[in-house]
Each structure stands twice: as C-alpha cells, then as structure tokens.
Structure 1
Amino acid sequence: MHGQSSEGGAWHAWLAALSLFSGPLLRMQSFMPSALAATAAANTPGVHPAIPAPGLPSGGGLPGFHSPPAVPSYASGTTAGGPVRTQPARMPFYVATRGTTTIYLLGTLHVGDPADYPPNQPFRAPILAALNASPTLALELSPDDLLVSQDDVSKYGVCRKPCLQQLLPDPLWAKLAARLRGNPEALAEIRKMKPWLASLLVETYDSLSAGLQTEYGTEAQLQNVFLSLKGRRVIGLETLAEQMRAFTYLNLAQQREMLAQDLAQTPAQNVADVHTLLRLWRLGDADAIAAWDAARTEKLAHDPRVAASVDNRIVYERNRRFVARMQQYAAPNKPLFVAIGALHLGGRKGVLQLLRQRGFTVDPG
C-alpha cells in the first residue's frame, strides 16, 4: 500500500480486515461486523481467512500496541478473563417464526474472551440445535466478500499522503495527537487515514487493551461449528459495496462526530465500557444492550443531531436491509440462522422489532 514496508503493509492488511468486519468492540458491534472474523478465521480450523494474519490474532501487529499479558492457558484452567467456565456464555439468542418460516438470530461480539467458549461446548444447547437445523448461516458479509475487503478499506479509508490533520478541527486533532503521544508508530499511520477509519483505530486499541482477542469473536467460533456440518452454506446479508458505503457516504461532520465520541473519554473509561458491553452480552438481553448503548451515545455525543444521523446511516439503515435479506433467504421448513452484531438486535429500530412489524413472533431462545 503506497510503497510501505512489508511490516507496515501487513499491519494495514490486518487493520483493513478488522475495520470492515467489526471494528472495535463498541462501534464495531453496530457498524461493521465482518472483517474481524476474517482475521479470527486465520486461527480457526475450517474457516477461510480473508487475509494471512500470522502472529496478529490479539492485536500484536498494530503499531506500538502491546497485548495484555493474560494469555489463555487451558492447561492451567485460566484464560484472559479468569477461570474457564464449564458453560458457554448465554449470548443474545432469539427465535423468530411466521407460519412455517423460522429465523434464528444470534447477537455477536467480534472480539471476545476464550472463557466464553468452553472447548467441549462453545455454545449453549439451543444454539447448537438451531445451527444443526439450519442449512444456511447468514453473516453480515459473505466469506467471498471478506477475501477482498482489505482492498476497499485501503481505497476508501487511507489517503496517499497524510490528510487527517487537515480534515479535523484543530482541537480535535490536538486531542487525538495527545491520545497517541506515547505511540508514535500509530500516530504516523493514523495521519494517512480518513476520520472514519481513524475512529475505528482508536476504538481498536481500547478494545484490545481490554484483553479481548480477535480469534474469539463469535462469528469465527460459530463458523467453526457450522462448517463441520455437511451440506451447509454461509452467505452475507449485505454486499461489500453496501457495507463500505455506510462509511464512505458519511460526510465530514459525521466522520468527525465518530472520532470526537471516541476521544470524549479516557482510554480507561473506554475499556470499562468494553467490559460493560461484554457483561451485558453474556446475560443475553438484546434490549438491555441497546438501551445501554443509546445512553452511552447520548452521553458522549458532541453534536446530538449529527450523532443521530451517523446511527441512522451505519446502524438503522443496515438493520432494514438485513431484515429484507433475511426474508429473501428464509423459506418454509428451511430455517435460516443469522449471526450479526449484538447492537443490531434490540431497541425500537432493531432487527427484532422490525421482524415483529413484519408479522414474526420473536421469542428468546
């Protein structure tokens, strides 16, 4: 990419996949649920990775980033999150039915804690039964689109020369530079990014600093189970072009709002929010997750009107597209299993409510 060293190119490829797939834990759950699984897939048997990512599963390939010391060790009975649980996390899981048409919906996290996926049973029995009953698994992007995702991120998110400082008001740039003062490698790279991609990088550091790992994103673990079954296919609910337009069509004010929200709190406060989201996800209530996220956005918004327009573009418009595609793929007596970012499910504009409006009965799974 633009004549960078192989080390820099490898990092950019990793970030490209990260940003398209799920971005950092908070914004990624509602915005980009697709390329992080590609990185995770590099270490998941049976899943085809979007990019070669040796040595990068936990963020070690990011400039200046040093992974937390906690490394999973099943032999010692501990993981990055503490003792290995004997039961998997509950996770937000729902069953939508209309006549003989069934759609299973799982809210995912795109980075995770190995403690949530016990080796002998990574998912609860109802989730495993639903996977077994479904001939098709629908993710936000198809595996084929993941293979080419990094090129589009580079094309639309990275400038040929430093551009970010010129695209930001001076106070916001000063805040970003101060945040990365101790990480000159990252600051040098972020100078070449559009504000939307810079926002995702800031969140990525905070998410990985929380001790979570890309190879334990829900999608990667889910595909590992699903693709071990015979005659199954994995599809996308949107195309790569559609997903990219959610970002590239953001105007400059909207991109600045994204970055301003990421910098409104200290890194420690953002890490605490990552842990809160993880805890809510483990409890499995999609509406509680949506309510918490709405309150967080209200607290952090620099311009509430612009913040609402960002959510509409990156979350709610995509929710409507997801539901329309689900209805296309679901068929009588052929269940469809859908796995999308947990923040897409709950709330009055979430996928579960949109399905209810279309005549589906939605129950917790």
Structure 2
Amino acid sequence: MPDVAAARRLARRLRDGACAVAVARRWSARALKGAALLGVCCALCLGTGPLGVARAAGAAATAPVQAGRPVVPVPGGVPAPPRASPPGFDPAPAPPGTTASGPVRAQPARMPFYVATRGTTTIYVLGTLHVGDPVDYPAGQPFRAPILAALAASPTLALELSPDELLVSQDDVSKYGVCRRDCLPGLLPEPLWHKLAMRLRGNPAALDAIKKMRPWLASLVVETYDSLSAGLQTEYGTEAQLQNVYLKTRGKIVGLETLPQQMHAFTGLSLAQQREMLAQDLVQTAAQNVADVRALHRLWRVGDADAIAAWQAAKSENLARDKRVSDAIDNKIVYERNRRFVSRMLQIAAPNKPVFVAIGALHLGGPKGVLQLLRQRGFVVEAG
C-alpha cells in the first residue's frame, strides 16, 4: 500500500520541504519512461491508499488510509524523514524487556490470516499492511507460528504485484501520473485546488512538486504524506517482511495482477473520479488522517478482516463527497481487483500444492471481499 519505498521517499521529501528544483529535474529526465504501482495501497490498501496508494496500497502500502488502493511508487528519491512523532501521535508501546521471572518474549502482530480449503486445495490468505512498526515483527519470530507454518508448506507466494514487475513499475507512474508542466491546478475546481494549496501552505517545495501530478497521483501522495506522519515505516511493511522469511528457503513469488492491470485501476478513472479521490483526502485535517492511519494499524494488529472492512465502510461513507462517484471508484480500485485476485488464486492453486497469498488487508473482509468470493467458489474459510 510491497515495495512502496519510492512513494514513501517522495512523500518524505515533500513533507520535509526538500528542493523542488531537484525533483523537477529528476522528473523531466524520467517523465516519459514509465513508472510503477505496487499493489497500493494504496492505502493504507492496506492498503489501500498508495502510496497505499493501496482505497486501501498498499499498500499498500499501504499505508494509504483509503481502502484497497495500490501503493504507487512515485518518481523522485528522498532523504529519510525525521523519526520524531507528530503532536498527539500515540506510538505502539514497546514490549517490556523483563519481568520477575525473566526476559519477556515479544509477540508478533496477529494480522488477518485465513485458511481457505476446497477438497485438497488450500489457499492461505494474509491481509497485509504496506507500512508498519518494528514491534509488529519481533526479530526472533516476525510472524505467528501458523503463518510461518503456512509459508513453509506453500510452494508459491503470491503478492499483488510480482517483484519483477515492481522493479520496472516506477516508469509507468511517471508516464501516466506526472505532467511536463504544472497541470494539477487546471485539472481541479478552484475551491479544491485552494484547499490542497492551503494544506501544503507551509511547504512550498511540496506544493511546487504536486502541481505536476495528475489528480489520482496527487491523492496517493497526500495519503502517503499522512501515513508517514503517523510514524509508520516502509521497511516494516508486511510484504517486505514476508519476502525476508520466504526467500530463505524458497524463491517462487508471483503476482496476482499484471502491472498494466494495476496501472489501469488509476488511468481508467474519469477526471470526476480522480477529483473525488483527492477531495476525500482533504475532507479531514492532516491530524485526523493520521489518527485514522493509527486506527487502521491497531485493527490490523488485532487481525479481524470483517472488523477492518466495517471500519473502512463507515469511513468511506463519511468522506464521500459524491456517493455515486465514490462507489464507482471503489468498484474500480477495490472490487474489480478483488475478483481478479480470486481468479488468479484459483489458477495458481492446485490439489496438495498450497498457495500463500498476501494482499492488502482491506481487500479481505465484507460482502465483496476476497474471503466471501472464495466462499462463493466453494471454499470453506476459517481464521488461521
């Protein structure tokens, strides 16, 4: 909302007021080379809003706080952000080191994890968060024992986007999301542009950089900006941690969708839909968005996909400026991709050859989520 490092780095630069000239120079050199999405989050997919990018990266991560948005790597490198937490931020408590009986073992986050079976076919489904906190993945045991056992039993790990496509994906983001000139002010209604400019008024470098983005990419950058302000880190995104574990013993990692399919989730949006995306990101204050990021992180740690879906549904209802347009965005970025994910899972899975699937947590629960779609295909789905 997977490797959303480029998006996170850009947002860090925007937040920290780094030199806009350097960004523009880098963009003018790469503008037509292409770019990349992660499977967003956007969000914050958890995905969500990409650069969770995951209505979720995103991871989408995330991660972006909108549900299920792929997390899009955005052009431009950036320095590391300050580690200090913003005012009002309540970081996850560090696990206690010792008790009277000796050292205390840190416990990994529970995370939404499910086992879907149909006859001898098994699909393990893990809901990811594209950014995270070090306490989510203790060094000695980054995942719960059932998750580690499922990884060990699976010949294939399936992510939203394959690592190979992720490597070449950033150019497509530049190609389809970045303009050669300052295009964003002319693509937005004046009140919406004014609202965005006011949000970034303390950071002229960020404002100059975002002027060259199309509305869908500007939306994901705003979400990423808020996710970073919540103190979460890309290196502790679930996908990155999973690959650290999986590649030690295995190596087959595949994607559930192709890069063109994922890019089309954004490039296929109408201008009205792109404006709605950005408007939703600006309904609340930055501090309120940060609080939502933290709330999503806490729900993800508990590990109940349906509770996460219910939380996101209530949030979407509150943020929607035009419900009809908002529903169309959800269908394009979340529900169409859910159906694609499940179709691809069924292609990969085979009797007695389990597949381990890791996708943004906001794709899992609810009546149109991946778990319900698997049930409709005859699978019995149980919490892992």
Please report the TM-score for the alignment, with normalisation by the length of structure 2.
0.81
> Is 1:171 aligned with 2:191?
yes
Distance in 1, Cα, partners of 2:333 & 2:134: 29
| 1:53, distance to aligned residue in structure 2 (A) | 9.6
Provide the residue aligned with 1:92 in structure 2.
Answer: 112
Distance in 2, Cα, partners of 1:88 & 1:156: 38
Query: What is the one-letter code of the residue matched to 1:169?
Result: P
Q: Secondary structure at the match of 2:367?
A: coil
8 Å Cα contact 2:37-2:259 kept in structure 1 = no
Provide the residue aligned with 1:22 in structure 2.
Answer: 41
Match of 1:81 among 92, 103, 107: 92
Match of 2:58 among 7, 12, 33: 33
Distance in 2, Cα, partners of 1:34 & 1:145: 16
Q: Secondary structure at the match of 1:82?
A: coil
Provide the residue aligned with 1:357 in structure 2.
Answer: 376
> Is 1:302 aligned with 2:327?
no
Match of 1:319 among 334, 338, 345: 338
Q: Secondary structure at the match of 2:212?
A: coil
> Is 1:203 aligned with 2:220?
no
Please report the TM-score for the alignment, with normalisation by the length of structure 1.
0.85
Give the structure with the higher percent helix: 1
Match of 2:233 among 182, 205, 213: 213
Q: Is the alpha carbon distance of 1:120 and 1:80 closer, same or farther for their aligned partners in structure 2, counting shifts above 3 Å?
A: farther
Provide the residue aligned with 2:206 in structure 1.
Answer: 186
Distance in 2, Cα, partners of 1:120 & 1:241: 38
Write the deviation string for residues 58-110 of structure 1: whole angstroms up to 9, x where unpaired.
xx45xxxx43326xxxxxxxx96331471000000000000000000000000
Match of 1:5 among 6, 12, 22: 22
Q: Secondary structure at the match of 1:103?
A: strand
> Is 1:344 aligned with 2:363?
yes
8 Å Cα contact 1:34-1:140 kept in structure 2 = no
| 1:32, distance to aligned residue in structure 2 (A) | 3.7
Query: What is the one-letter code of the residue matched to 1:33?
Result: G
Distance in 2, Cα, partners of 1:325 & 1:293: 25
Distance in 1, Cα, partners of 2:133 & 2:222: 20
Match of 1:69 among 62, 84, 92: 84
> Is 1:118 aligned with 2:125?
no
- 5+ residue gaps, structure 2, are 1-19, 63-72, 97-105
Alignment of 1:265-276 (within 5 A): 265-276=284-295
8 Å Cα contact 2:338-2:369 kept in structure 1 = yes
Q: Is the alpha carbon distance of 1:114 and 1:190 closer, same or farther for their aligned partners in structure 2, counting shifts above 3 Å?
A: same
Q: How many residues align?
A: 332
> Is 1:287 aligned with 2:306?
yes
| 1:273, distance to aligned residue in structure 2 (A) | 0.3
Write the deviation string for residues 29-78 of structure 1: whole angstroms up to 9, x where unpaired.
445436859xxxxxxxxxxxx99998x5xxx45xxxx43326xxxxxxxx
Q: Is the alpha carbon distance of 1:215 and 1:343 closer, same or farther for their aligned partners in structure 2, counting shifts above 3 Å?
A: same
Q: Secondary structure at the match of 2:359?
A: strand
